[in-house]
Amino acid sequence: MPVTTRRIPFRDLETWVQVTEPEAPVPGALPLVVLHGGPGMAHDYVRNIAALADETGRTVVHYDQVGCGRSTHRPDAPEDFWTPALFVAEFRNVVAALGLERYHVLGQSWGGMLGAEIAITRPEGLASLAICNSPASMRLWVEGANALRAELPDDVRAALDAHEADGTIEDPAYLAATRVFYDRHVCRVQPTPQDFLDTEAQLLDDPTVYHTMNGVNEFFVTGTLQGWSVVEEVAGIAAPTLVIAGEFDEATPATWAPFVERIPDVRSHVFPDASHCTHLEQPEAFRTVVAAFLAEHDADAEAFEPS
């Protein structure tokens, strides 16, 4: 598949963008823009979604959100610099720079949260939205994480509690305990896929955005997103929406239920024996479900009119 990269100016920053073109384009197949998670976890762990280019005959766009990966980093930026509004504006800038008039959006984890923020504004070109492994509020996310944490072995829970209370979250014993949670509820593939390791390595090099907005780790949320919620606002999403989750996902059913209950045109799909990184654990099945949804909304994309 032909792959090109470029850097797109955004304010006084630059966004690194990768565009994957299909060998055999399908007429009417709209581009797909993929939003990675974190915040601050570069696109590498979702790059296998680019296979949809040849599988569906459409262009697939990945980009590293500012603050991570190959885009501009700002480790000294003030806390209030990193907001959902910043990343919504960056998305709009990427779409405009690429000249995308009609497009699909797929967001994974934080990317799905960002996708919801974008869809709430009813952008004229949005043909469909896929929210993958994402919560509708951080309160629900933390409640779900605490429930999953309570199911961990006693010694693992004790290690987590003790080191969080002492502030020794860099201790190897704490990191080992967090790995137990990750292996159950974040990515169940062993050994961990290289794409995920590549993203982890970039996060460790500069965790500014993740630590500022999310916090210490996936289940110890101390960042500025603690109060984030779109539970009330998602009723205003007009684009057809697909909600995806895994059976053992750290995004538990209660966290994404508001999407299904409140978005007018919505469906959901839960993958058995999968967790948070469904696209890495069951890549072919994941892409099959997404491809069918995209194809359905390629056909009526021209008729879609936001109100």
Q: Which residues are catalytic?
A: 109, 249, 276
Instruction: Give the other-Cβ count within 10 Å of 226's Cβ.
Output: 14
Task: Check whether the bond before 191 is cis (ω within 30° of 0).
Answer: yes
Helix 154-166, helix 172-185: angle, nearest 10: 130
Examine residue 39 and say whether the peptide bond preceding it is cis (omega within 30 degrees of 0): yes
Residues in the chain: 307
Token pair 């305990």: residue = 177
- Residue position matching structure tokens 């909600």: 243
Measure the CA–CA gap between 190 and 188, rounded to whole angstroms: 6
Q: How far apart are CA 229 and CA 134, in angstroms?
A: 12
Tokens of 21: 């073109």
Kindly report the three-state secondary structure assignment for every residue of 120-159.
HCCCCCEEEEEEECCCCEHHHHHHHHHHHHCCCCHHHHHH
For residue 84, which of 123, 113, 105 has the smallest C-alpha distance? 113
